[in-house]
Structure 1
Amino acid sequence: MKALSGYFFTGFPGFICQELVRELLATKKDISDVFLLVLPTQKSMSLPVIQSYQRMYPQTAFHLIEGDITQPDLMMKDDDQQRVSERTHYVFHLAAIYDLAVKKEIAFEVNVNGTREVLRWLKSVPGLKRFMYFSTAYVAGRRDGKILERELVHKFPFKNHYEETKYLAEVLVEKEKINLPITIIRPGIVKGHSQTGETSKFDGPYMMLNFLYSLRFLPLIPHLGKGDAEFNVVPIDYIVKSTCFLTHSGRALGRTFHLTNPEPITIREAYRVLMDKLLKKEPKGSIPLPFAKTFLRVPTARKWLKVEREALDYFTWKGSFDCTEARTILGDAGIICPPFHLTADTMVKYYNEHRSDTMKHIHIS
């Protein structure tokens, strides 16, 4: 009989975390316990999700653990701490501030100090088989050219505090590879499910749809700048399938992987594809990016367009992610990232069906 395993997650009830738990439950038959660390303020919204898991997988015990990654021992109660420590074998650290416009102090507290506390706490988990750390491909900051999976430390600046603090956090995790069984995941820009389009928030690539929909009444809609930067978008199902496989792969131990699209398109081409799917129009002309950035300095403009000004910094970045090592391992398992144009229809269809849902849109300050 195969030994049972316990899984611990931070970042619940975030979208990626929810989808990752579902994928693990659907593919692994030896899960005895699922521990989900939630902030006390998010407990009520987490309960219905837990109940749905329990109905589908009655053989697994689900535990909603109140805590805070920025506090010692993750602010878990003593009895929770003991139970989690004794029964956990796999830990997934997804909790982070993902907002491009986040203030530095908040990002540093959650992304850097929070990761430091998780690493300290891991030393108290005697049966740990793997620590899966969710970073981002954009720890590359303003580096340009080809960026390899084995590369990390650099002296280039960053486009925002999100990138900078995720970089500093990954440096901490990288140093612990000699002490802990670690695999680092660096996703590209995550979008909804490739087949259903489902997503929890209209952030990231959906800001392009927000922008286009807000300007739908114009007879002509221009491009924003040259748009020759790489647009590296990956669907959530590729991320969770890849993570599940890498978690249990001996070949992934101690390594870092770009879960990025091996066939990225340019922002200009993505803009054209999304405009065609959403509005049945073609872009005409181009607005200089400095003009667009100036316009987005106005809070009213940002809120109307539902676009963060910081998002425009990605329109001129000249980096490209190499994902050879991830493709080599994942290809053996038949896990392949679909090209953007093949999933654009479902992305736009889901957006159209839910764009009036205020809960799907992120707060723009």
Structure 2
Amino acid sequence: MANDKDDTKKKSTPPKKAAAPKKAPAPKQAPAPKKAPAPKKATKAQPTLQPLAEGEVLITGFPGFLSTRLVRELLGRQPLARFNFLVLAGLRTTAERNLAALESELPEFRGRWSVYTGDITDRYLGLSEATYAELATRVAVVWHLAALYDLAVAEEVAYRVNVSGTVHVLDFCQACSNFRRLNYVSTCYVSGERTGTIYEDELDEGQSHKNHYESTKFWAEVEVQRRRDRIPTVIVRPGITVGDSRTGETNKYDGPYYFFKALEHLPSWVPMVNIGRGNATGNLVPIDFVVRAMGHIGLADEVAGQVFQLADPNPMRARDFVALTLACMHRAPAVASVPEGLVRRLLSSSKVENFVGMPREALDYFNHEARYDSRNTQRALRETNIRCPHLSSYLQTLIDYFQSHPQSQLSA
């Protein structure tokens, strides 16, 4: 808007006073003798901060598929660092077996890891107070991946793990005497039911959420962002993570794999349809891209305080995903579109849901018209060769792996 003009009249200025006569300069005085410098006070020695890549590491969420892949990535980036793993009691044997296998594969990893039986839902992470305090003197970098990922989870259980657990990890970070970085793994879906473009610097926009997984991950990130002024933090928000774009390897069949399952269960003569208009874009990212991006961003300098959405910058429309999947699985093209509400009513029957192999909660992500901006991520990766491949370039790889590896053969 243009500024309003100033129509007020100019005030007259008072007449200038006659200048006072100049005073004679004061006689110069002899300079005072210099005082002897005061002795320097003894200063308390400050801890020497290690380079970020050399700092001792604590990882939660191991031996999950994402954390296991991340460890491989970090070993290449942190050849001198020691790794500590906070592991649930029931997963300790698996964790130690996986680490021993990794140690035999990568001899440079030998003797550089420790496993601690613990639980983030406990105030002291399930550790003794002495162990907690001792770890706090050594750990410089925390990767917090532990979370309960279940679209149908009860609210109380999800809150205890995803929110209270994250608060306890934040408390540990603040207790560390030589702390450098918290790398917190959130999710794009803290955006809940928002539509349109979702930006990386947005969190609380008054949105509702589709399930308790989303809402508790939202509240967990609220807590993380609230303490960013006291804890140097990087937040990454992956999209729906699928298998490796080069090999198809994964350890779970959810997200788009539900559609693959449905096609395998339905006879070939059953005509396929699009669900709804199919104009919404998906947010699928392969795990190899996710771990490489996390490894680079999580150890980069001058990114603390920022949020990075690990999303496909060129996502496919739902109807294009359906068409390409049908072609990859040698099925006839879709013949029509049916309202999403009709499909949802059909899946409300547990018999239909079990037969098709697609839970009705998965529909919430199939036609959700949200697009995730990833400019921070693109900027952080600009000088690297880390790029999110287009889904069309690796969808066949995902399907081939799915068809040759039944659910029962997947690793835990």
TM-score range normalised by the length of the shorter chain: over 0.9
2:70 is aligned, of 11, 20, 27, to 20
TM-score normalized by structure 2?
Answer: 0.83
Partner residue of 1:125 out of 176, 184, 191: 176
* Residue 166 (structure 1) shift: 0.6
Distance 1:209 1:178 in 2: 45
Counterpart of 1:131 in 2: which secondary structure?
Answer: strand
Equivalents in 2 of 1:136, 1:279: separation in Å? 33
CA distance in 2, matches of 1:48, 1:281: 45
Match of 1:242 in 2: 293
Q: Is 1:74 matched up with 2:147? A: no
**Matched residue SS, 1:331:** coil
Superposed, which structure 2 residues align to 1:2-17 within 5 Å?
A: 4-17=54-67
CA offset at residue 216 of structure 1?
4.0
Distance 2:298 2:190 in 1: 21
Partner of 2:321: 270
Question: For residue 43 of structure 1, what is the aligned residue in structure 2?
Answer: 92
Q: After alignment, is 294-303 or 128-137 more displaced?
A: 294-303
On the 8 A contact 1:19/1:240 being kept in 2, the answer is yes
Q: Which residue of 1 aligns with 2:273?
A: 222
Check whether the contact 2:353–2:360 (CA below 8 A) recurs between aligned residues.
Answer: yes
Kindly provide the amino acid, as one letter, of the partner of residue 147 in structure 2: A
Which amino acid in 1 is paired with 2:254? D
Please report how far the alpha carbon of residue 51 of structure 1 lies from its aligned counterpart in structure 2 after TM superposition. 0.7
* 1:254 matched to 2:282: no
Cα distance in structure 1, aligned partners of 2:200 and 2:94: 36
Unaligned runs of at least 5 residues, structure 2: 1-49
Deviation of residue 347 (structure 1)?
0.5
Distance 1:208 1:118, change over 3 A: same
TM-superposed deviation, 1:58: 3.6
Is the Cα contact below 8 Å between 1:36 and 1:63 reproduced in 2? yes
Distance change >3 Å, CA 74–CA 110, structure 1 → 2: same
Contact map agreement 1:100 1:160 (CA 8 A) in 2: yes
Moved more, 38-47 or 170-179: 38-47
* SS state at 1:283 partner: coil
Work out whether residues 13 and 46 of structure 1, in 8 Å CA contact, stay in contact via their aligned partners in 2: yes
- Is residue 52 of structure 1 aligned with residue 101 of structure 2? yes
Distance in 2 (CA, whole Å) between partners of 1:43 and 1:301 is 38
Report the AA paired with residue 90 of structure 1.
V
Deviates more, 1:88-97 or 1:40-49: 40-49
Q: Superposition pairs for residues 151-170 of structure 1, below 5 Å?
A: 151-170=202-221
The answer as to whether partners of 1:215 and 1:221 remain within 8 angstroms in 2 is no
1:203–1:361 contact (8 Å) kept in structure 2 = no
Compute the displacement of 1:360 (Å).
4.1
Q: CA separation in 1, counterparts of 2:64 and 2:346?
A: 32
How far residue 78 of structure 1 moved from its aligned partner, in angstroms, is 4.2
1:30 alignment counterpart: 80
Taking structure 1 as the reference length, the TM-score comes to 0.94
Of stretches 166-175 and 19-28 in structure 1, the one that deviates more from structure 2 is 19-28
Select between 212-221 and 92-101 the one with higher mean Cα deviation. 212-221
Determine which structure has the larger helix proportion and give its number: 1
Structure 2 distance, partners of 1:41, 1:359, is 20
- 1:218 and 1:287 mapped to 2: Cα distance? 18
Distance, in Å, in 1 between the alignment partners of 2:382 and 2:270 is 45
CA 1:216–1:13 in structure 2 vs 1: closer, same or farther (change >3 Å)?
Answer: farther
| Pair 1:324-2:380 in alignment | no
CA distance in 2 between partners of 1:296 and 1:52 (Å)? 42
Give the number of equivalent residue pairs.
Answer: 360
Does the residue aligned with 2:237 lie in a helix, a strand or coil? Answer: strand
Q: Structure 2 vs 1, CA of residues 106 and 183 (structure 1 numbering), >3 Å: closer, same or farther? A: same
1:62 aligns with 2:113: yes
- What is aligned with 1:177? 228
In the superposition, relative to structure 1, how do residues 313 and 4 fare at CA in structure 2: closer, same or farther (>3 Å)? Answer: closer
Larger radius of gyration: 2
Percent identity for Structure 1 against Structure 2: 33
Say which SS state the counterpart of residue 79 (structure 2) adopts: coil
The alignment partner of 2:268 has SS state of coil
**Amino acid across the alignment from 1:183:** V
| Counterparts of 1:175 and 1:133, CA distance in 2 | 13
Superposition pairs of residues 110-149 of structure 1, within 5 angstroms: 110-149=161-200
Kindly indicate whether residue 231 of structure 2 is the aligned counterpart of residue 190 of structure 1: no
Cα deviation per residue 1:319-355 (whole Å; 9 max; x = unaligned)?
111111110111222211101100112111110111x
Q: Deviations for 1:147-190, whole angstroms, at most 9, x for unmatched residues?
A: 11011111121111111111111000001110011000011110
SS at match of 1:122: helix
What is the identity, as a one-letter code, of the residue corresponding to 1:118? V
Match of 1:289 in 2: 340
Using the alignment, how far apart are the partners of 1:25 and 1:337 within structure 2? Answer: 22
Separation of aligned partners in 2, 1:360 and 1:158: 30
RMSD: 1.9
Tell me by how many angstroms 1:193 deviates.
0.7
Q: Which runs of 5+ in 1 are unaligned?
A: none
Q: What amino acid does structure 1 have at the position aligned with 2:185?
A: F
Q: Secondary structure at the match of 1:250?
A: coil
User: Once the 2 structures are TM-superposed, how far is the Cα of residue 11 of structure 1 from its aligned partner?
Assistant: 0.7
Cα distance in 2 for partners of 1:192, 1:54 equals 24
- Which residue identity lines up with residue 52 of structure 1 in the other structure? A
Distance in structure 2 (CA, Å) of the matches to 1:39 and 1:300: 34
Q: Distance in 1 between matches of 2:102 and 2:135?
A: 19
Deviation string, structure 1 residues 2-41 (Cα, Å, up to 9, x no partner): 884321111111111110001111233222x211111111
Shift of 1:358: 2.6
> Helix, strand or coil: the match of 1:311?
helix
